[in-house]
A and B are shown apart, each in its own frame.
Chain A
Amino acid sequence: MTTVIDVEDVSKQFKIHHERNQSLKERLLHPKAGSTELFNALKDISFSVSSDETVGILGHNGSGKSTLLKCICGVLQPTSGQIRLRGNLAALLELGAGFQTELSGRDNVYLYGAMLGLSKRSVDAIFDDIVAFSEIEHFIDTQVKFYSSGMYVRLAFAVAVNVDPDILVVDEVLAVGDERFQAKCVDRIRTFQEEGRSILLVTHQADQVRALCDRAIVLDGGLMIANGPVQESLRIFREHLLEDAVEHDRAGHQAEVAIDSVTTPSGSFDVRSGASIHFDVHISSHTAYSGNFVMELFTRSGMLVSRSDAQGSPVNLKPGANQVGVDLPNLPLLDGVYDVNVGVVDYHGTVIAWKEQAASIQVTYAGREGGIVELGASIQQL
């Protein structure tokens, strides 16, 4: 296993201009005016990524995740520290950023390829694949300025994923395009994983990390607050989001609510398919609070099985210890381990308390159906 990305004590500072002084006249007339402030976008970040690993970078807006990504891609230079890269890297930072709208699709493929570090001959070799993937055969010789935004994005994505990168860096691009295109992107990423390439995926969607990554890094305010298994990092990410929210609302009148534990009467979380299971969720609250109770159920591979929505079931918490009972009758799940996340949200859907992986239920199934859900299909020839 080779280390392909090695980030060593990387910090990045930005100058924030309070008054922009971008003309010569202004600079000459007011040499001192225009205060600047230093902003630490990243502070001493260190981690490494090995080949055939998919790592997710999580963080909310302003946490520094895009800055980190740009440093890794070499678009930005870190203020201190260094990043060592092995193998060639293709970045999907903003699809089509390198396009010249005056040129035809064909010319742009060559130009974009050159920007990603390919020679003309290597672009020749993959040109047909690119065009086929982008599905714009008829328009390849049309100027890009006449493309629809969908065609534009498809062409850019097609170039980036066909350049045979050793490291693929993806920044929230999976959020663009229609559903079919998104599925195509995710498919392509899975193929890359199977081929043993490294992928760095930046997102604020926990579900995507759960579904695609082997490991996750959480950034908050420029600091790395987690670097470990997906489940663990997601727990920290969610709980951190919550802490921030509580800090925000401290001035207000928010009740301090915490989820203490989830238990079953028997103490066991093992259940047979089709049987019922009952949990008790222990919630402590400092004040009386009314909100909604939310529960999520995930497979171990990160697929969401079920989520009761934010307008879920109302609960009225009293000061002190509270208990909420959850009944899952005739559990229609097949063999496997399922993680349960529980939480309390207010009436607007803002999370008040959350516990990630509060319990794991082990389902055993004796039948021969495969998958997640027991449909109990009966098949007869008519």
Chain B
Amino acid sequence: MSDASPARVKRRSLENAPVRVVSARANLPTRLRNLWSRHELLTSLIFSDIRIKYKNSTLGIFWSMLSPALTLGIYYLVFSVITKNGYPNFALYLFSGLVVWNMFVTAVNMATGVIVDRAALVKKVSFPREILALANVGASVVYFAIQLAVLCLFLLALGHAPAWNFLWILPISFVALYLLTASVAIVMSAVTVYLRDMRHLMEVLLQLWFWLSPVVYSYQNTISQRLHDHGLTWMYFLNPITPIIMTFQRIFYVKTTVISTNPPHPVLQILPQWSMSSFAMMNLTLLAITIVLFLLSLTIFGRLEGNFESEL
């Protein structure tokens, strides 16, 4: 930053400056490199997203805990108090699944319209556009972290120890969750540019998706036998978020068999009795699949991105 001979300094630095190429279609490695080179932008976008969201609310970021807490309360009331499903510590069971689902659904909901909403920016400023969707995912990771912290406090308050020996699978599961969420968010943000009513469709699809995932009910206890009888178990596990939710439940809820709180207190099979190695294998496989999905989503985004200008 010396003022001695700025022109000379500038010229020398320019000769060695990397050459950037703008061309019809960037290949995948270039896209990834471009994405990585703008990680500072991603960080700023994530925090500005969060700041904007809670800017004019008195409770601020506290909402990111309050609204999941209310959802949790409602499901608890309906399933445990009113319909009496008999699962002991049901709030904990719900919570460990909901943190996963909340992260997914928050990010996908935000990202679905993000390119359309930020059209002015997309048409005027150059940056890898998928960063907008990734910023939404990033913001939901922050909310996820907050909720996870609350979950830990919850465990502490109840004196309920997590499955310590399974804990190392959690990061794998989280990365898979992140990649899955990012893939769906990236693809949906681009598709919505072409099909504007995707936003409304997504709301319904996400509702359906939620009920296809074992968050408020137990897969093992309710439907596994019936699916097995019809040979449809594989179909249930096509939903990539199911193994992640089950992993979180296994780690935080811990017990696979419990005694129902309803008389005559039968024994309930609430989580699958898989061994640690099968949980690990399941998550590693899922991780591999989500890596492929993520790369695929970047490729799809790259294809769709070319006509953004004329569609926005």
A98 in complex: contacting residue of B14, B51, B125, CB < 8 Å: B125
- Per the bound structure, the CA–CA distance linking A166 and B13 in Å amounts to 10
Given A83-B22, A85-B19, A93-B124: A103 touches B51 (CB 8 Å cut-off): yes
- The number of chain B residues with a CB under 8 A from chain A is 47
User: B309, A76: Cβ atoms under 8 Å?
Assistant: yes
- Asked if A103 and B52 make an inter-chain contact with CB atoms under 8 angstroms apart, the answer reads yes
Q: Flag A161-186 by CB within 8 Å of B: 1 or 0 each.
A: 00000100000000000000000000
| Nearest residue, chain A, Cβ from B8 | A196
Instruction: Judge whether A248 is part of the interface by a CB distance below 8 angstroms.
Output: no
Instruction: Indicate if the CB atoms of B40 and A114 lie closer than 8 Å.
Output: yes
Task: Using known A-B contacts A86-B17, A115-B125, determine if residue A72 contacts B44 with beta carbons closer than 8 Å.
Answer: no
Chain A residues 190-205 with CB under 8 Å of chain B are 195-197
* A195 B10 Cβ-Cβ under 8 A: yes
Question: Count of A residues near B, CB < 8 Å?
Answer: 55
Q: Quick one: which of B1-49 are within 8 Å of A by CB?
A: 6-7, 10-11, 13-15, 17-25, 38, 40-41, 43-45, 48
| CB atoms of A196 and B7 under 8 A apart | yes
Per the bound structure, the CA–CA distance linking A71 and B310 in Å amounts to 14
* CB-contacts of B119-160 with A (<8 A): 120-127
B25 near A197 with CB under 8 A, answer no
For residue B84, CB closer than 8 A to chain A, the reply is no
Q: How many A-B residue pairs have CB under 8 A?
A: 135
Known: A103-B52, A111-B48, A166-B10. A71 touches B197 (CB 8 A): no
| Cβ contacts A62-89/B at 8 Å (1 or 0 each) | 0000000011111111111111111110
A2:B126 contact, CB within 8 angstroms: no
B198 contacts chain A at the CB level, 8 A cutoff: yes
A residues less than 8 Å from B238 (CB atoms): none
The distance in angstroms between the C-alpha atoms of A98 and B124, with both chains bound, is 8
A209 to chain B: closest CB distance in Å? 23
The verdict on A307 contacting chain B, using a C-beta distance below 8 Å, is no
User: When the two chains form the complex, which single residue of B14, B120, B305, B311 contacts A51, counting CB atoms closer than 8 Å?
Assistant: B14
Chain B interface helix/strand/loop/mixed: helix
A27 interface contact, C-beta 8 A? yes
Given A91-B126, A107-B48: A24 touches B7 (CB 8 Å cut-off): no
Query: Given A111-B48, A120-B40, A196-B11 in contact, is the A77-B125 Cβ separation under 8 Å?
Result: no
Instruction: Check A114 against B10 for contact (C-beta < 8 Å).
Output: no
A121 to chain B, nearest CB (A): 9
B83 → chain A closest CB, angstroms: 36
Contacts of B235 in A (CB 8 A): none
Please determine whether B17 and A24 come into contact, CB atoms closer than 8 angstroms.
Answer: no
* Chain B residues closer than 8 Å to A91, beta-carbon distance: 125-126
> B14 and A84: CB pair below 8 A?
no
A117 contacts partner chain B, Cβ-Cβ < 8 Å: yes
Given contacts A74-B126, A196-B10, contact A16 B310 (CB under 8 A): yes
By beta carbon, the residue of chain B nearest A92 is: B124
Say yes or no: is A14 at the interface (Cβ < 8 Å to chain B): yes
For residue B73, CB closer than 8 A to chain A, the reply is no
Cβ-based interface call for A378 (8 A) = no
Contact B52–A102 (Cβ < 8 Å): yes
Mask of B58-86 contacts with A, CB within 8 angstroms, 1/0: 00000000000000000000000000000
List the A side residues contacting B45 at CB < 8 Å. 111, 114
Contact of B196 among A14, A23, A119 (CB under 8 A): A23
- B29: shortest Cβ distance to chain A, in Å? 16
11 A-B residue pairs with Cβ-Cβ distance under 8 Å, sorted by A, are A17-B310, A77-B23, A77-B305, A93-B124, A97-B121, A111-B44, A115-B121, A115-B127, A120-B44, A143-B55, A196-B6
10 smallest A-B Cβ distances: which pairs?
A: A97-B124, A74-B126, A82-B23, A114-B44, A196-B7, A83-B22, A114-B41, A23-B197, A102-B52, A85-B20
- Further pairs besides A93-B125, A97-B121: 12, Cβ < 8 Å: A22-B195, A76-B309, A77-B22, A77-B25, A77-B306, A84-B20, A86-B20, A97-B125, A116-B125, A120-B40, A143-B55, A196-B6
